[in-house]
Amino acid sequence: MTEALPLAVKDLSFRYRDRQETAIRNISFDVRAGEILLIAGASGCGKTTLIRCLNGLAPRSYKGEINGRVAVFGKDIQSWKLSQISQKIGTALQDPERQILGTKVVNEVAFGLENLNIPREEIFQRVDEALTFLKIFHLRERETFSLSGGEKQKLALAGILAMRPSILLLDEPLASLDPASAQDALDTARFLADQGITILMVEHRVEDVLRIKPERVMLMDSGEIRYLGDAAGLFNVASFREVKLPANVIVERAKAEAPPEEINLLPGATSADSNDEAIVKFENVAFGYESNVEVLHGLNLEIKRGDVIAVLGPNGAGKTTFVKHAIGLLKPKTGRVLVNGRDTKEISVAQIASVLGYVFQSPSHMLFAPTVREELAFGPTNLRHSDERIEMEVKEALRIVNLSDKENDPPLALSFGQQKRVSIAAILAMQSKILVMDEPTAGQDYQNYMNFMDSILQLPSFEAILFITHDVDLAVIYANRVLIVNDGRLVADGRPQDVLRDFDRLKANRLEATSLLRLNLERLGETGKFMRAEALAHL
């Protein structure tokens, strides 16, 4: 008798209760033991909905109409309780904030095991094994709220691995990880698959995942499977605008298309009065969340008009803590931060908001309104913009992030990638002078993040832009200045072509040289600057 496959999906469709259109339609595929299936596609194409149907969250938690069959080891899971499904299928959600319940790391990893009534001694053994395996044992006694986004991502995965599932669903597992941690996570996935675990991985960072040689790739489009096969076949069918492919593949494919238009970066900066005056200034800034532990150590830097700054560095390096000082959410323990010449200790966050707009790493920290339109109108209303101006700002912000058709949707009912764009649009609508974004491309397909970055950089309202990112290519394409932050210190500050050419320094700060960076460095003598792959195709 043939052994049943770990996962078999037949004619699966799902429509959310509060939406007219079907989210996924007629999905059929099987996955074998020890196989890695990479699931790619544009934001909002149905990838996360598919994951929710496989792990039982749809229709149990996400209400709606489901049709078709999901079988685990030959058994239909439709009648199973979530507790039964979770023993076979482990899920790492796109936004780890939604998954973490415990106040301490050790308690969080133990949570699922305690619910299965596993003996206490075995629980701690499994917890320590999972933490050690993911190289985060040093976080065992930490409070979960104090972890960085990347550390939370690893913690969520540790809680799942401790349950020892047969099938692992990973929804954007690399979204908040620094490049070296992303490589570690992918090596872990490959190791687990080689031990017989079945892995389905939803991921926009396709080039990174291809390094571990997934057995198959699924490309989704508008709720349906457009391609299912090997990676080589993906290069032929996937749009390089929607799926981020290796730089050399994009260059070859883009040769047949018209060259991209030159972008006029930050027109608002060139019309400003004084180019030399710093809008934000850090003077010997030190900070710690706990009185005896310092997170930032003597930071000195200036943000000037015309700066497009990429902040790179490892998870837990202090990048978000540094940025929160610029917007006044945190105040220095020693030293000072000046915004337009005024000490942030003496002005309110609301006053700073008219100068600096901040997009949080996790959209769930920002979104609260019943509709997308009300979300976007909230900031401008509090800044006392006129009704006519608010209407114009909301429409323009929605256009920039490609969400004009979602104006009346509840923000928290959207996909993670769409929620991220709503949070960016909410700040765009406020028309601040400096835009500060924490991981703006997390959960975004290549086309969406290129389009909104292009649009943002051409807005006349902005005089400077700063973004924290683990995407080195984002720094290559858009930044005119790169900061590397590690262990709360400024390790490097300069032009991208100067800072990013030192591969040893990149490696020491858990960064990786991408195919686009390498290609740009090869062509730098010819170009004199860094360029996107589509532009390099026409040299």
Q: Regarding predicted confidence, which is higher, 270 or 231?
A: 231
3-state secondary structure of 23: coil
Residue of 373 and 292 predicted with greater confidence? 373
Topology given in CATH for the domain delimited by 7-238: Rossmann fold (3.40.50)
Q: What is the largest CA-CA distance in the chain?
A: 79
Please provide the size of the chain in residues.
539
Residue 52 is predicted with a pLDDT of: 94
Q: What tokens were used for 366?
A: 């920002």
More confident residue, 111 or 269: 111
* pTM for the structure as a whole: 0.85
Equal fold, 7-238 vs 267-500: yes
Pairwise CA distance, residues 119 & 424, whole Å: 46
Q: How far is CA 437 from CA 110, 150, 440, 464, in A?
A: 33, 16, 6, 12
User: What does the pLDDT read at residue 178?
Assistant: 86
> What is the pLDDT, as a whole number, of residue 49?
94
SS3 category, 185: helix
Chain segment 397-445, per-residue pLDDT in tens: 999 988 999 999 999 888 777 888 899 899 989 988 899 999 888 777 8
Convert the pLDDT of each residue in 462-493 to its tens digit: 899 999 999 999 999 999 999 999 999 999 99
Given this model, what pLDDT does residue 338 score? Answer: 96
CA quadruple 401, 406, 409, 415: dihedral, nearest 10? -60
Whether pLDDT at 371 is above 50: yes
Type of residue numbered 500 = L
72, two tokens? 């685990």
Residue labelled with tokens 């609508």: 429
Cα(275)–Cα(279) distance, integer angstroms: 10
pLDDT-based confidence at residue 273 (cuts at 50, 70, 90) = low
Using the predicted structure, report yes or no on whether residue 503 has a pLDDT greater than 90.
yes
Report whether CATH 3.40.640.10 matches the domain 267-500. Answer: no
- Domain limits, the chain: 7-238, 267-500
Tokens of 467: 């973004």
Q: Residue ranges of the alpha helices (H) in 105-178?
A: 105-115, 120-133, 149-161
- pLDDT surpassing 90 at residue 455: no
**All residues at 6 or more sequence positions from 12 whose CB lies less than 8 Å from its CB, including other chains:** 24, 26, 27, 28, 50, 53, 66, 67, 68, 69, 70
